[in-house]
Amino acid sequence: MSAPRYMACFNQYDVFKHCHLRDVLLLGQVSRMIQGSIAPFLSSELLRYLGYYENGQDLKGIMDAYTMMIAGAGVTAWIQGDDAASVTPLVFFGDRTTSMVAYLLDKGYVKAETTEIPIPASPPLLPLAYDFLIVASETLVREDPNGVKVIEIHKTRCSPQNIVPSFRCTAYYGGPFW
Protein backbone atom coordinates (compact mmCIF):
# COMPACT_ATOMS: atom_id res chain seq x y z
CA MET A 1 0.00 0.00 0.00
CA SER A 2 1.42 3.39 -0.93
CA ALA A 3 2.12 6.17 1.57
CA PRO A 4 -0.80 8.37 0.38
CA ARG A 5 -3.22 5.49 0.92
CA TYR A 6 -1.89 4.92 4.46
CA MET A 7 -2.39 8.58 5.18
CA ALA A 8 -5.92 8.46 3.84
CA CYS A 9 -6.62 5.54 6.17
CA PHE A 10 -5.13 7.29 9.19
CA ASN A 11 -6.94 10.57 8.55
CA GLN A 12 -10.47 9.23 8.15
CA TYR A 13 -13.05 10.96 10.31
CA ASP A 14 -16.11 9.33 11.86
CA VAL A 15 -14.70 5.90 11.02
CA PHE A 16 -16.50 4.19 13.89
CA LYS A 17 -19.92 5.31 12.63
CA HIS A 18 -19.54 3.00 9.66
CA CYS A 19 -17.86 0.00 11.32
CA HIS A 20 -19.53 -3.20 12.45
CA LEU A 21 -18.72 -4.32 15.98
CA ARG A 22 -16.66 -7.24 14.65
CA ASP A 23 -14.45 -4.73 12.80
CA VAL A 24 -14.01 -2.56 15.88
CA LEU A 25 -12.94 -5.64 17.87
CA LEU A 26 -10.23 -6.31 15.28
CA LEU A 27 -8.68 -2.85 15.75
CA GLY A 28 -6.41 -4.11 18.54
CA GLN A 29 -4.92 -6.64 16.16
CA VAL A 30 -4.58 -4.02 13.43
CA SER A 31 -2.87 -1.69 15.90
CA ARG A 32 -0.28 -4.36 16.68
CA MET A 33 0.24 -4.91 12.96
CA ILE A 34 0.74 -1.16 12.43
CA GLN A 35 3.16 -1.00 15.33
CA GLY A 36 5.10 -3.98 13.99
CA SER A 37 5.18 -3.10 10.30
CA ILE A 38 4.05 0.36 9.24
CA ALA A 39 5.62 2.36 12.07
CA PRO A 40 9.15 0.94 11.53
CA PHE A 41 8.83 1.55 7.79
CA LEU A 42 7.76 5.17 8.29
CA SER A 43 10.49 5.64 10.88
CA SER A 44 13.15 4.40 8.46
CA GLU A 45 11.75 6.68 5.74
CA LEU A 46 11.86 9.63 8.14
CA LEU A 47 15.48 8.86 9.04
CA ARG A 48 16.37 8.62 5.35
CA TYR A 49 14.73 11.99 4.67
CA LEU A 50 16.43 13.67 7.64
CA GLY A 51 19.70 11.96 6.67
CA TYR A 52 19.79 13.90 3.42
CA TYR A 53 20.41 17.05 5.47
CA GLU A 54 22.51 15.68 8.31
CA ASN A 55 22.74 12.61 10.57
CA GLY A 56 19.11 11.43 10.68
CA GLN A 57 19.43 9.77 14.10
CA ASP A 58 20.82 12.95 15.63
CA LEU A 59 18.10 15.15 14.13
CA LYS A 60 15.37 12.73 15.20
CA GLY A 61 16.87 12.59 18.70
CA ILE A 62 16.69 16.38 19.01
CA MET A 63 13.14 16.35 17.63
CA ASP A 64 12.09 13.75 20.19
CA ALA A 65 13.85 15.48 23.09
CA TYR A 66 12.31 18.88 22.39
CA THR A 67 8.98 17.77 20.87
CA MET A 68 9.77 19.40 17.56
CA MET A 69 8.06 18.57 14.30
CA ILE A 70 8.79 18.89 10.62
CA ALA A 71 6.32 20.24 8.10
CA GLY A 72 6.17 21.75 4.68
CA ALA A 73 6.36 20.84 1.04
CA GLY A 74 9.15 18.32 1.64
CA VAL A 75 7.02 16.36 4.08
CA THR A 76 4.07 16.47 1.71
CA ALA A 77 6.29 15.12 -1.09
CA TRP A 78 7.55 12.40 1.25
CA ILE A 79 4.01 11.29 2.10
CA GLN A 80 3.06 11.26 -1.57
CA GLY A 81 5.98 8.98 -2.35
CA ASP A 82 7.96 11.66 -4.19
CA ASP A 83 11.62 12.49 -3.58
CA ALA A 84 11.36 14.72 -0.52
CA ALA A 85 15.04 15.65 -0.68
CA SER A 86 14.41 17.39 -4.01
CA VAL A 87 11.97 19.79 -2.32
CA THR A 88 13.51 22.48 -0.19
CA PRO A 89 13.62 23.49 2.63
CA LEU A 90 13.46 21.07 5.53
CA VAL A 91 11.29 22.95 8.04
CA PHE A 92 11.37 22.41 11.81
CA PHE A 93 8.89 23.84 14.30
CA GLY A 94 9.23 23.84 18.07
CA ASP A 95 8.84 25.96 21.14
CA ARG A 96 12.46 25.16 22.10
CA THR A 97 14.75 25.40 19.07
CA THR A 98 18.15 26.47 20.41
CA SER A 99 19.62 22.95 20.47
CA MET A 100 18.67 22.27 16.85
CA VAL A 101 20.20 25.55 15.65
CA ALA A 102 23.40 24.93 17.64
CA TYR A 103 23.69 21.36 16.33
CA LEU A 104 23.31 22.40 12.69
CA LEU A 105 25.71 25.34 13.02
CA ASP A 106 28.24 22.91 14.49
CA LYS A 107 27.75 20.64 11.46
CA GLY A 108 28.69 23.33 8.94
CA TYR A 109 25.43 25.11 8.23
CA VAL A 110 25.56 28.90 8.22
CA LYS A 111 22.89 31.51 8.82
CA ALA A 112 21.37 32.63 5.53
CA GLU A 113 21.78 36.32 6.28
CA THR A 114 25.56 35.88 6.62
CA THR A 115 26.20 34.13 3.31
CA GLU A 116 25.90 34.68 -0.44
CA ILE A 117 24.53 31.18 -1.12
CA PRO A 118 21.32 31.53 -3.17
CA ILE A 119 18.24 30.09 -1.46
CA PRO A 120 15.55 28.45 -3.62
CA ALA A 121 12.01 29.81 -3.25
CA SER A 122 9.52 27.79 -1.22
CA PRO A 123 5.79 28.04 -0.51
CA PRO A 124 4.56 29.64 2.73
CA LEU A 125 3.44 27.26 5.46
CA LEU A 126 1.09 29.38 7.50
CA PRO A 127 -1.69 31.68 6.38
CA LEU A 128 -0.82 35.30 7.21
CA ALA A 129 -3.45 35.32 9.96
CA TYR A 130 -1.32 32.81 11.89
CA ASP A 131 2.03 34.61 11.66
CA PHE A 132 1.66 35.58 15.32
CA LEU A 133 2.32 31.93 16.25
CA ILE A 134 5.95 32.23 15.12
CA VAL A 135 8.22 33.91 17.66
CA ALA A 136 11.49 33.69 15.73
CA SER A 137 12.86 32.04 12.60
CA GLU A 138 16.31 30.94 11.46
CA THR A 139 17.24 29.90 7.94
CA LEU A 140 20.40 27.82 7.74
CA VAL A 141 22.15 26.82 4.51
CA ARG A 142 25.00 24.61 3.46
CA GLU A 143 26.42 24.08 0.00
CA ASP A 144 27.76 20.65 -0.86
CA PRO A 145 28.27 18.56 -4.03
CA ASN A 146 24.57 17.51 -3.98
CA GLY A 147 23.43 21.14 -4.09
CA VAL A 148 22.26 23.74 -1.61
CA LYS A 149 20.64 22.36 1.54
CA VAL A 150 18.26 24.73 3.28
CA ILE A 151 16.79 24.23 6.75
CA GLU A 152 14.29 26.58 8.35
CA ILE A 153 13.77 26.46 12.10
CA HIS A 154 10.76 28.28 13.51
CA LYS A 155 10.26 28.90 17.20
CA THR A 156 6.55 28.79 18.05
CA ARG A 157 4.59 30.41 20.89
CA CYS A 158 3.17 27.07 21.95
CA SER A 159 3.78 23.42 21.28
CA PRO A 160 3.84 23.02 17.49
CA GLN A 161 1.35 20.15 17.59
CA ASN A 162 -1.26 22.63 18.81
CA ILE A 163 -0.99 24.64 15.60
CA VAL A 164 -0.95 21.77 13.09
CA PRO A 165 -4.45 22.58 11.72
CA SER A 166 -3.05 25.96 10.63
CA PHE A 167 -0.47 24.43 8.28
CA ARG A 168 -0.99 24.41 4.54
CA CYS A 169 1.16 21.31 4.20
CA THR A 170 0.94 18.01 6.02
CA ALA A 171 2.92 17.96 9.23
CA TYR A 172 4.61 15.34 11.38
CA TYR A 173 6.48 15.50 14.63
CA GLY A 174 8.96 13.27 16.36
CA GLY A 175 6.41 11.72 18.68
CA PRO A 176 5.70 8.22 19.91
CA PHE A 177 4.45 7.02 16.51
CA TRP A 178 7.97 7.11 15.16
CB 55 within 8 A of CB 84: no
Maximal CA-CA distance, the chain: 62
CA 65 – CA 96 distance, rounded (Å): 10
**Strands of 49-118, DSSP E:** 69-71, 90-94, 110-111
Average pLDDT, the chain: 75
How do residues 80-130 score in pLDDT, each as one tens digit? Answer: 777 877 888 888 888 889 999 999 999 999 999 998 888 887 766 666 666
How do residues 50-76 score in pLDDT, each as one tens digit? Answer: 999 999 999 999 998 888 888 877 777
Nearest Cα to Cα of residue 71 among 177, 148, 174: 174
